[in-house]
Amino acid sequence: MELVPLSSGLVPAVTALEAEVFAGRDPWPERAFRQEVDNRHALWLVALDGGLVAGYGGGWLIAGGVCHVLNLGVASSARRTGTGEAIMRGLLARAAERGFTGSWLEVRKGNEAALALYRKLGYRETGTRPRHYSDGTDAIVMVLKGPPLPGKPAL
């Protein structure tokens, strides 16, 4: 498994995985991923396993060095293998190279696997956004202050 930056050539496969992972929950369209490829504030990584997209994640490094994680998706075949953690650690490491001071994200209430991963990385719950998602589900806002907790390096 290797982590590579999101590129135009990977966008169709990432979009297909996004549609699978977030079926029925407003998956990002291909044009959104294409815009991220050229966004100078964006940090996106794709996990490849044998040349196939096993996961992806990304966000923006915004004012003050804060990394806003926007999206993380892992193929069902790659779940519970450390892929999501490797992507997140890779993103935060790249953010650190660009002046990282902290991070925040929103996660669907009830997504226990994602909540456990973010807690393991040092994120803490700071509040909720009621009915944030199109189906009316709340989002839990999580914040990571300072550098991520040490751990195994990204794949």
CATH number (domain holding residue 106): 3.40.630.30
Residues spanned by the domain of 137: 2-145
Residue 155 pLDDT > 50, yes or no?
no
Long-range contacts of 57-63 (CB under 8 A, 24+ apart): 57/84, 57/87, 57/88, 57/91, 58/6, 58/91, 59/91, 59/103, 59/105, 61/95, 61/98, 61/99, 61/100
Tally of structural domains, the chain:
1
| pLDDT for the residue 149 | 53
Q: How is 33-98 classified by DSSP, letter by letter?
A: HHHHHT-TTEEEEEEEETTEEEEEEEEEEEGGGEEEEEEEEE-GGGTTTTHHHHHHHHHHHHHHHT
| pLDDT for the residue 153 | 42
Task: Convert the pLDDT of each residue in 77-134 to its tens digit.
Answer: 999 999 999 999 999 999 988 888 899 999 999 999 999 999 999 999 999 999 888 8
| pLDDT for the residue 26 | 86
